[in-house]
Amino acid sequence: MTENTPARRPRTRVAVFACVALVALVLDRITKNMALSSLSTDHDVSVIPGLLSLRLLHNPGASLGMGSSTTWLISLLAIVASIVLLAAGVMTTDRRWAVCLGLAFGGAMGNLIDRVMYATGFLDGRVVDFLNYSWSVGNVADIWLMVAGIGLVLLIVLSVPFRPIREGAADTAPHVHDKTEAR
């Protein structure tokens, strides 16, 4: 079976989705483990003065600390989003969509793993953040989610089809003839 056969293409896109998601998730987990073992919540380690420092933070909320009092709801939404991203990643037949969805899934799973691992009650875990941008603190999973979001918006704006119509599919569709054409 060659790369161009219809049966092969969807599997290739699923493989792209899975590989991107796995790499994104592994890089997120590695950086979070490094942050947990070498950073402190007490002080910042300056990387780019005034722009970026490293500081350990356990965030119960979402981006910018929003929703910190409803951690269980954020966790539940993350589970639903992960299921939707997984389904979309398997369904797409476009490599660009597969890459963006893989990044989003890897990022979502990275933060969801934290919420489950560090929970003391029902879905009340905290996400390990350590990249301090002075206006927000985040992690590598957040970067993947942001890049994926920008990529998905670009795909939509550029009208890149999620599942391109197969050649010949339009020819087999029933035609509706306009009565004015027959005259």
Mean pLDDT of 135-164: 93
Any domain includes 44: yes
- The rounded percent of the chain whose pLDDT value lies above 70 is 82
138 and 91 in contact (C-beta within 8 Å)?
no
For the chain, percent of residues with pLDDT exceeding 90: 58
Residue 58 lies in a domain: yes
In a domain, 171, yes or no: no
Beta-sheet strands, E only, within the chain: 45-48, 52-59, 127-132, 137-138
Q: Given this model, what pLDDT does residue 165 score?
A: 59
pLDDT(27) > 80? yes
Identify whether 64 is part of a domain.
yes
Is the residue at 3 inside a domain?
no
Catalytically active residues are 129, 142
Residue 177 lies in a domain: no
Lowest average pLDDT, out of 14-28, 111-125, 132-146, 165-179, goes to 165-179
Strand, helix or coil for residue 82: helix
pTM, entire model? 0.81
- Whether residue 43 lies inside any domain: the answer is yes
157-175: pLDDT as tens digits: 999 998 865 654 444 444 4
pLDDT score for 146: 96
Query: Per-residue pLDDT averaged across 73-99, rounded?
Result: 93
124 part of a folded domain: yes
Range of the domain at 66: 9-162
Domain count, the chain: 1
